[in-house]
Amino acid sequence: MRILLVEDDETLRSGLASRLRAAGFAVEEAANGTDGLYMAKEFPLDAAVLDLGLPDMDGVDLIRSLRRDGGEVPLLVLTARDQWQAKVEGLEAGADDYLTKPFELEEMLARVRALLRRTDRIPQAAKHSEILNYGPLTLIPERFEAIWFDNTVKLTHLEFELLHCLLQRHGQTVSPSEILKEVWGYDPNDDIETIRVHVRHLRTKIEPDPRHPKYIKTVYGAGYCLELPGD
């Protein structure tokens, strides 16, 4: 498994790289966005860890470029505590998860593993107990697609898993902590902005009017509920 690591702080970068290598990953290191983009084109990647505050390039632009060139590679962004806005923009631009500095190396490793597990796991997801079809919705794990009212909807890995999670409990409210645990693979902290952003993405793909959702409902203070015709 090969990880791209883009971080301009040399001390932090070498710490992250050593921990990832010790865990058995191949690591490509870049100290700026330009090198990062170059390496992303040069090497087949399984995941990328990106600092949002880079010397030569807005980290959010880097995410957009990687999404454009590298498609679905799972992205974990690193943000400073005061970069709340950048964090949201990073998620909007296509990052899967983020960590706020300072963080423990073990936490970073857990997040990277969760990203990889997700990419890995979904194609074999069709176990008997799972619901892959209800009403107008059918999920196709092999292609990360949904059939939605006879239209094919292409999903990112993360959107797929989020929709899958909600579909298993359609008609019921699913709490943010259940979603975080199942989709992101870690125990909840108090921050549900990550979920909010990805729910918004998903709504733009399946809701006729994403601002007034008919199917993926927000249950204030409680979570989200996928309501399908027939529920």
The sign of the CA dihedral 216, 141, 139, 211 is positive
Partnered with residue 78 across adjacent β-strands are: 51, 99
**Nearest-approach distance from CB 191 to Ca ion, in angstroms:** 21
| Residues whose CB is less than 8 angstroms from the CB of residue 79 and which lie 6 or more positions away in sequence, other chains included | 52, 53, 86, 87, 90, 98, 99, 100, 101
**Nearest-approach distance from CB 54 to Ca ion, in angstroms:** 6
Taking CB under 5 A as the rule, does residue 145 contact Ca ion? Answer: no
The span of 11-19, 43-51, 116-124, 172-180 binding Ca ion (CB under 5 A) equals: 43-51
Cβ 175 vs Cβ 223: under 8 Å: yes
Nearer to Ca ion (CB atom), residue 40 or residue 50:
50
Taking CB under 5 A as the rule, does residue 29 contact Ca ion? Answer: no
Q: Out of 51, 89, 97, 161, which residue is the one contacting Ca ion (CB under 5 A)?
A: 51
The span of 6-14, 15-23, 174-182, 193-201 binding Ca ion (CB under 5 A) equals: 6-14
For residue 60 the two structure tokens come to 């959010």
**Nearest-approach distance from CB 30 to Ca ion, in angstroms:** 12
The span of 3-11, 18-26, 152-160, 177-185 binding Ca ion (CB under 5 A) equals: 3-11
Taking CB under 5 A as the rule, does residue 35 contact Ca ion? Answer: no
**Nearest-approach distance from CB 67 to Ca ion, in angstroms:** 20
The span of 26-34, 46-54, 165-173, 175-183 binding Ca ion (CB under 5 A) equals: 46-54
CB atoms within 10 A of CB 163: 24
Nearer to Ca ion (CB atom), residue 83 or residue 194:
83
Q: Which of 185, 69, 89, 39 minimizes the C-alpha distance to 77?
A: 89
Residue the block writes with tokens 């290598």: 21
**Nearest-approach distance from CB 60 to Ca ion, in angstroms:** 13
Q: CA-to-CA distance for 209 and 44, rounded, in angstroms? A: 37
- DSSP alpha helices (H): ranges in 149-192? 157-168, 176-179
Taking CB under 5 A as the rule, does residue 53 contact Ca ion? Answer: yes
Residue of closest CB approach to Ca ion: 53
**Nearest-approach distance from CB 158 to Ca ion, in angstroms:** 24
Question: For the CA atoms of the chain, what is the radius of gyration?
Answer: 18
Q: Which residues bind Ca ion (CB under 5 A)?
A: 8, 51, 53
